[in-house]
Amino acid sequence: MSEAEMNENINEETSEDQAEQEKLKFDVDIQEVSSCERHIKITIQREEIVRYLDKEYQELHQKAAIPGFRPGKAPRKLIEKKFKNDVTDRVKNNLILDSLTQVNEGKELTPISEPDLDIKKIILPEEGEFIYEYNIEVRPEFELPNWNGLKIEKPVRDFTDEDVDRAIKRIQTNYGILIDSDAPAEEDDYIVTKLTFKQGERVISKADEETIRIRPVLSFHDGVIKDFDKLMVGAVAGERRTAKTVLSDDTPNYSLKGQEIDAIFDIKAIKKLQIPEVDSNFLYQIGGYSDLGDFRDDVLDTLKRQLEYEQQQSARKQITKQLTVNADWQLPPALLERQSARELQRSILELRRSGFSDEKIMSQLNFLRQNVKSSTAQALKEHFILEKIAEVYGIEDSPEDYDVEIALIAAQSGETPRRIRSQIEKRGEMDILRNQIIERKVLNMIQEEAEFVEVPYNMEGITEEALDLAAGSETQESAIPEVSEEEAKEVARNDAEKNLHNFTNSQEHI
């Protein structure tokens, strides 16, 4: 080893020793509140507080502007008197930030949220120890389940021309025109109706005008009406038809959860769908196709991608069911409530990536909203396990992974990948994409070691009409409200004020 290399090693060891010496020394007491909650008490000794104060005053001494003194010449007592409040506040913030960082870097816990503390209310004492406490949500501790050699059913299908024809028929309906009809309603016709939800004589919510397609099932955010087609077939304008429905436990109006209410349809008009012919104008309108064969090839590719989605979802359900069989952790209600909106967004991105229509997406969202707590709890348990497998086996995301995801979403929306990326970043959903990428890679690894049994994939027609409203909501707000831009800015301002963002990025991994 050369002298230069020896000196370099000595310098590196010296820097590491200095960094270790400069680390904040404190005592930490971690109490388990529940599987995913910890109460943490931090105790910082007086000598560490003095060390931080001395460092701040020394730096301030060199640059403080004190009338009558040159920089670096003013007495320290004068500087302490003039800047005591500012220095004390900075030292308090630094002590909290450094202690939180070191706790987070330790192996005792894996935070999944920021600490529940108000830094403004914490006071740095003039004498004695500095003690502060907080609660934090963490990933539960568990042993990895055995994932090798799982048995999984895989839905498969060789798509036929008839499958493509049916898919094209569905696309045609998206570009159809509704025309008035005097004939009694038939299945797949549309009703224009005033919709009122009542319990007894009390009106719970209403929509003055909804256009609804007649299908076997009608869903909304917090419930479903089965046999909707039987209810409406034969109806004419001016009639009233009534059905009963039971609101889900996740209705936004908690006083009505699990209760039966009436859905009253005052029918204003019957409409039939006039679908366009698949001619050159239609082909150009939907995607600039110059050839029917190219259009059919694209439709077939979409069907294959949807089958891939169904295969992934089927495999995921079977894999995670086996992996989470012992995951009996009690998840904090606040965590479930916070993550529910993210679970909806994750589902939207997955469905868009796979080329599903808006009505399919709305139908899936209504199902999730009706079971939001249980579906979110299951999704979180799955994520904790898949994320830990990714950590153990070094599975990571790459920039190319995001390019692929965004390109697939863009291909279905008709917008450019650049615009889609901008929209996702603006909504703060890049971490959701990251989760999808990591989880998909882990699932692919598990599937490589799995034993597959092929089963037929049955393509079901669309049997559900999904409404974007909540029957139990008196204000007709979404069951899972969106955060306004101003609210988001306020949260960002508060976070910046706390200056705690640097201590953890773990929440982005949920």
pLDDT, tens digit, for every residue of 419-478? Answer: 989 988 988 888 888 988 999 899 999 999 999 999 999 877 778 899 988 988 744 444
Of 5-19, 160-174, 224-238, which range is least confident? 5-19
Model pTM above 0.75: no
- Would you state the structure tokens that stand for residue 53, as one six-digit string? 């104060």
Rounded to the nearest integer, the mean pLDDT of the chain is 82
84 to 55, 63, 121, 145, 490: CA distances (angstroms): 13, 15, 18, 55, 30
Share of the chain above pLDDT 70, in %: 84
Position 78 pLDDT exceeds 80: no
d(CA 303, CA 41): 55
Q: What is the pLDDT of residue 402?
A: 92
Residue whose C-alpha is closest to residue 250's, from 471, 496, 14, 29: 471
- Would you state the structure tokens that stand for residue 80, as one six-digit string? 């302490």
Query: Average pLDDT for residues 111-136, to the nearest whole number?
Result: 90
d(CA 486, CA 464): 36
For residue 111, the Cα-to-chain-centroid distance in whole angstroms is 17
Beta strands in 228-319 (DSSP E): 240-246, 260-274
**CA dihedral defined by 465, 156, 353, 356, rounded to 10 degrees?**
-20
Which stretches of 195-291 are DSSP H helices?
228-232, 280-287
413 to 221, 231, 245: CA distances (angstroms): 24, 35, 34
Asked whether the beta carbons of 178 and 273 are under 8 A apart, the reply is yes
Which stretches of 354-448 are DSSP H helices?
358-370, 372-392, 399-413, 417-426, 430-448
Residue whose C-alpha is closest to residue 285's, from 273, 293, 296, 277: 277
d(CA 229, CA 225): 10
Query: Average pLDDT for residues 173-198, to the nearest whole number?
Result: 94
